[in-house]
Amino acid sequence: MRGVDNSMATQSKTLFEQFLAPIFSHLVDRDALLRLRDSIDWEAGVARFTNPQVVYPNYYKISNFHGIKNGYLNVDAALTYDPITQYVLPPGETWVRESLVKAINGEPRRILDLGCGTGTTALMLKRRFPDAEVIGLDLSPQMLVMADYKAKAAAVDVSFRHGNAMATGLPAASFDVVCATLLFHETPPAVAKTILSEAFRLLTPGGQMLVLDGNQRTLRAADWLSTIFEEPFIRDYGQGNVDAWLGYAGFERVRTEDVFWLNQLSYGRKPLPVAERIEQPEGDRSAESAETVPLAQPA
């Protein structure tokens, strides 16, 4: 995404810059963004969130996501993310994100949002499950500063944590729900698979994994989408299959459904121990076997 500061260093004239950035610049209230930028103490916020133990993976350091140098390790990326994102999730950002929130079964006690960015989904999750502890984790301290600012402004109690979703350092079996929204189209598929293995480790037996992201079938059918969005890994993501990745990580009851035409929601459950499965009523067990996708070697 384009920054609000014209002096910001960017790649030379990408397709995004030539065609999409001029459109977005008309849609974004630049003065409001500058006021917001000046109202936040970024230096103090970044220092507060930065965990010096975090090691940035190579793909993250070298990729200029959305044409911005330094990708997400950048105040402009954090500032412009929300104003732009609202225009790239048809038919509407809230509707698309709600598909994930509504797909969660029961009343989870602990929810983890991996690659939480500016926290929009995490805030929605806390509003929907007020008794749950909701944690958002991201590699970008700048995005976390923005997320925390939004949560405090809205008086929504979500905690944010600097970390790598591939190896969070959080205790095993400590979350009932783990989710990732709009994360995997920005990571190499090998990273997405590692993140799903980490999510599997973090979930309690029976815990739910939800992945909301770009629609892989649509991306394969409409290659021009990958061209205009200029995400470094979006083509590889489109060639992959989140269902297969979930199955390979060990999840059962795997399924993916379209969310309008540009997005998809994938769901998997961490299996219960065998003893608990046997106690389940007959009906539940047959439903389980009908829905379970055999382990597949992921694309």
Ligand X SMILES: C[S@@+](CC[C@H](N)C(=O)[O-])C[C@H]1O[C@@H](n2cnc3c(N)ncnc32)[C@H](O)[C@@H]1O
Give the residue carrying structure tokens 């993501």.
237
* Options 31-39, 42-50, 116-124, 251-259: segment touching ligand X (CB under 6 A): 116-124
User: 257 to 286, contacts with ligand X by CB under 6 A?
Assistant: none
Between residues 231 and 253, which has the closer beta carbon with respect to ligand X?
Answer: 231
- Say how far apart CA 20 and CA 23 lie, in whole Å: 5
Give per-residue burial for 232-271: e unless 16+ CB within 10 Å, then b: bbbbbbbebbbbbbbbbbbbbbbebeebeebbbbbbbbbb
| Interface pick for ligand X out of 99, 164, 264, 266 (rule CB under 6 A) | 164
Residue number, nearest CB to ligand X: 117
Between residues 125 and 183, which has the closer beta carbon with respect to ligand X?
Answer: 183
Report in angstroms the alpha-carbon separations of 132 from 103, 105, 152: 16, 13, 17
Token output for 68 = 């911005």
Rule CB under 6 A: say whether 63 interacts with ligand X: no
Q: Binding-site residue total for ligand X (CB under 6 A)?
A: 22
Rule CB under 6 A: say whether 208 interacts with ligand X: no
**CB 147 to ligand X: min, Å:** 9
Residues in the chain: 299
Which DSSP state fits 148?
Answer: H
Between residues 21 and 271, which has the closer beta carbon with respect to ligand X?
Answer: 21
User: Which stretches of the chain bind ligand X, using CB under 6 A?
Assistant: 57, 60, 72, 85, 115-117, 120-121, 137-140, 143, 164-166, 181-183, 186-187
